Amino acid sequence: MISETSKAWIQAAKILAENPAARVRCPEKADGFLTVHDEAIPGNPTRFERYLVCDVCGARNVLLMRE
């Protein structure tokens, strides 16, 4: 059984994987919006990590992205 919070993170990840500028509510508490920043993975030029962080409570998740 997958929790509602997990479903909300999956939904947020789908939206932000396609459009990092989208305004997505915090999946944990719906208290703020997720901010996105990308970080390169040293030694792995075909992938990068996309961090999703709530601007209010700091809830976070990381997506592994392909270039």
| 3 state DSSP class of 6 | helix
* Contact region with Zn ion (CB under 5 A), list: 10-18, 23-31, 34-42, 45-53: 23-31
Answer yes or no: are the C-beta atoms of 63 and 36 closer than 8 Å: no
Name which position in 22, 57, 62, 64 contacts Zn ion (CB under 5 A). Answer: 57
Query: By CB under 5 A, is residue 60 in contact with Zn ion?
Result: no
Q: How far is CA 28 from its chain centroid? A: 12
Structural contact between residues 38 and 47, judged by C-beta atoms closer than 8 angstroms: no
Q: Which of residues 12, 16, 24, 26 is near Zn ion by CB under 5 A? A: 26
User: What residue ranges bind Zn ion (CB under 5 A)?
Assistant: 26, 28-29, 31-32, 54, 56-57, 59
